[in-house]
Amino acid sequence: MTSIQGGAGDIADGTATLADRARLVVLSAPISQREFADRVGMDPTALSKALRGNRRLQDHEVAAIAQVGKVSQRYLRTGAGRPPATGGGQAVRRRADAVDADLRRAQILEATARLIARRGFHKVRVADIARACGTSTGTVHYHFPTKDHALRAALVFYADRFHARLEEEFRTADTTVEKLRRLIEVQLTTTEEDADEWSVWVQSWNEAILDPTLREGQKGVHVRWREIVLDLLRTCQREGMAQGADAEAMASRFTSMVDGMAIQVLAGTGDMDAARMRELLLDAFEPYITLRRR
């Protein structure tokens, strides 16, 4: 019977889970966890959550992990079949230490992002982050030397989460117009996690106004998002829609509308809510592109 070796000890396949076996595959690979995540097309934080058992692996992710890790999907799902070549117990334990460090950083990052989102950047102390993670302030400082580092990391954390969600939506959209509809849905604040995402985004703006050293990172996240909108609009034009329209101007107008309305939703300003935001954004590209279903 194969056992899964790692920081938590050996786990027999009879009691191991899909997450346990996926973790063994990552431990056994001769690359870092971050590189493994890149090769399987997953956000590193999402992979870390999956290895901890806090996120369900989707079918295409299981298939990618099996391919990169050179095992069968049957092994990952059931434990039956040939396990990954580990290269010896000591090698696996060295890799386990490295992966555990990645997992610890992901845990600290997730807690930091959530605390900043819900309490506010200036009200979160390093001690609060350490308490939330069950670790020491020294460990938190090791990963994020200053609070500015923590804010930058929180912004990237939620940006990556947004793009991973958007990519998943786009994967099942069969037209460019449908992708624009999905883009709108992903922008809406309908869950607590959506509110967290927007809270960190707005706070990063505020801090970038006051601290020029934060502007480059904030701008990079914005440009990445705007390019998605612009690419979709240019694809629409290639497909015969919005002929003669200024795609650059439409992208700027749309992203400004999204930001402005999301701030109103977050702050409870006026009558703006997710439903009204959706309705206004569905009309954002009229008369060039019609997003409402007929």
pLDDT in tens, 81-136: 888 876 545 555 555 545 566 677 778 888 888 899 999 999 999 899 888 877 88
How many other CB atoms are there within 10 angstroms of residue 293's CB atom?
8
0.85 exceeded by the pTM? no
Q: For residue 106, what are the contacts with CB-CB under 8 A and spacing of at least 6?
A: 44, 45, 48, 49
State residue 15's pLDDT score: 57
pLDDT score for 131: 87
Give me the chain's average pLDDT, please: 85
The winner for highest mean pLDDT among 46-60, 77-91, 100-114, 219-233 is: 219-233
The pLDDT, as a whole number, for residue 246 is 95
Give the C-alpha separation, 57 to 65, whole Å.
10
DSSP 94-147: HHHHHHHHHHHHHHHHHHHHHHHHHH-GGG--HHHHHHHHTS-HHHHHHH-SSH
Q: How confident is the model at residue 155 (pLDDT cuts 50, 70, 90)?
A: confident
Residue 55 confidence class, pLDDT cut points 50, 70, 90: confident
Task: Name the CA dihedral angle for 230, 263, 119, 156, rounded to a multiple of 10 degrees.
Answer: 10
* Residue 51 clears pLDDT 50, i.e. is over it: yes
Nearest-CA neighbor of 195 among 148, 254, 265?
A: 265
Higher-confidence residue: 22 or 104? 22
pLDDT at 32 over 60: yes
Average of pLDDT values for 155-161? 87
State yes or no: pLDDT of 228 exceeds 70. Answer: yes
